[in-house]
Each structure stands twice: as structure tokens, then as C-alpha cells.
């Protein structure tokens, strides 16, 4: 007897924030209690799909501000039959400050955030003290923050800003990324011989 597989529809993977109760929870999004993880800037979905497939026990929420990329990621995820991934069209800041419960995230992935290299645009960078502080609030104790960037100056800024928050302690990037699949940009940059900076922190209690 053949088995019928249920393939999710792309639109079923996209969460409309004005149609769901806030704050978002794993139970509401995935219909079960599970480790709730977040990717900020899901792009075309390469990492999110691979990570969700490799870890069916988790629920992964991906945020993307570019609707065309969000829709492409949803289409790819649906075709791959990924049921433990949800996507939301908004900014990282809106999601963190308005839509998440404190202490709810088991892991946060931030891969190749826009470095905004011009000095007058630095205020647009994601890694600012207020955003890092909010990250610490929405992450549970023991949660991992994983970050990748190809921009050396921004990498140093990220280390300084995250390192200034006592709720984050650095951990071995080699260990934190040992089983983490590459992103689209990572494959592209490695092919160009461009170094990629890997950084990881663990959320700890504040003393």
C-alpha cells in the first residue's frame, strides 16, 4: 500500500502577523511544544530549509523584509516538504520588539546581515546595543546566537557590541558551526576566496 505524503502549500508556511495572536509561540505556529529557533534574514531559504530538514524536532521561524525572497523561500520549502518552518514578512526589529515573548528562543541565526559600510548608514546596522539587548531578552538561558559575516570591520563591531552585553559569553565557533549547513552567500564568497567570519555566543544568566 502506497503512502500519501502531505506537502505543505507555500502560503501555509507564511505567517500574517495581523491575523495571529501575539506574541508568537512555538505551540501556535507549529501545533506542538518544541525548541523555537529564529533566523533573521532568511533570504531565499537555503539555510532555513536545510536546517529545518536536519532538525525535525525544532520549529524554525524565518524573518525576511524582501517579499520576493520570502515568497521564493516559501515555495522552495513547500516543494521540499518542510513542515517545521514558518516565514514572516517584516523587519527583524519589528519581530523582536513586538512579536516575541521573552525567554522563548532556543537559538538565533544571523547570517550575512547587511554591513551598511558607509559611515552615515551605520545606524541602520542590525547589531546595535538596543537590538542585542532585545535579543538577550527573547532568548532562553543556554540559547546560542550564531553569526556569520564576510565584512571584517562589521565582524569587529559585532564582537564588540555583543561582547558588551554580559548576558552573552563567547563560545567556540568551530563547535557551534560544526553541523551548520552553508548559506547561499557563504558558498558564493568561499568560491571567491573571500574569508567568512564565524562567531557564536551563549545566552547566560546576568549576575
Which residue from 187, 145, 194 is spatially nearest to 167, judged by alpha carbons?
Answer: 145
Q: Which CATH superfamily is domain 10-203 in?
A: Vaccinia Virus protein VP39 (3.40.50.150)
Of the residues 94, 114, 150, 165, which is catalytic? 114
Instruction: Give the tens place of pLDDT for each residue, 78-130.
Output: 999 999 999 999 999 999 999 999 999 999 999 999 999 999 999 999 999 99
Domain limits, the chain: 10-203
Sequence-ordered list of residues with C-beta below 8 angstroms from that of 117, at least 6 positions apart, any chain = 151, 153, 154
Q: Which three cell numbers stand for residue 60?
A: 524554525
Q: What is the pLDDT of residues 101-113, one digit of tens each?
A: 999 999 999 999 9
**Model pTM?**
0.93
Annotated catalytic, 114?
yes
141-194: per-residue pLDDT in tens?
999 999 999 999 999 999 999 999 999 999 999 999 999 999 989 999 989 999
- Cα–Cα distance, 192 to 186 (Å, whole number): 10
Amino acid at each position: 500500500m502506497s503512502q500519501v505524503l502531505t506537502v505543505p502549500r507555500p502560503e501555509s508556511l507564511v505567517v500574517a502577523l495581523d491575523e495571529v495572536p501575539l506574541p508568537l509561540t512555538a505551540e501556535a505556529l507549529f501545533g506542538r511544544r518544541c525548541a523555537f529557533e529564529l533566523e533573521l534574514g532568511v533570504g531565499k531559504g537555503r539555510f532555513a530549509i536545510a536546517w529545518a530538514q536536519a532538525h525535525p524536532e525544532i520549529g524554525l521561524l524565518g524573518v525576511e523584509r524582501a517579499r520576493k525572497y520570502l515568497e521564493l523561500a516559501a515555495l522552495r520549502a513547500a516543494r521540499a516538504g518542510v513542515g517545521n518552518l514558518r516565514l514572516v514578512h517584516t523587519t527583524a526589529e519589528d519581530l523582536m520588539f513586538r512579536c516575541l515573548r521573552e525567554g522563548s528562543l532556543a537559538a538565533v541565526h544571523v547570517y550575512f546581515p547587511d554591513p551598511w559600510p558607509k559611515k552615515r548608514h551605520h545606524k541602520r546596522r542590525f547589531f546595535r546595543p538596543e537590538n542585542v539587548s532585545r535579543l538577550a531578552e527573547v532568548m532562553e538561558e543556554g540559547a546560542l546566537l550564531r553569526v556569520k559575516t564576510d565584512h571584517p570591520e562589521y565582524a569587529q563591531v559585532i564582537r564588540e557590541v555583543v561582547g558588551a552585553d554580559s548576558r552573552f559569553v563567547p563560545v567556540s565557533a568551530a563547535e557551534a558551526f560544526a553541523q551548520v549547513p552553508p548559506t547561499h552567500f557563504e558558498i558564493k564568497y568561499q568560491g571567491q576566496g573571500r574569508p567568512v567570519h564565524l562567531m557564536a555566543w551563549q545566552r547566560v544568566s546576568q549576575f
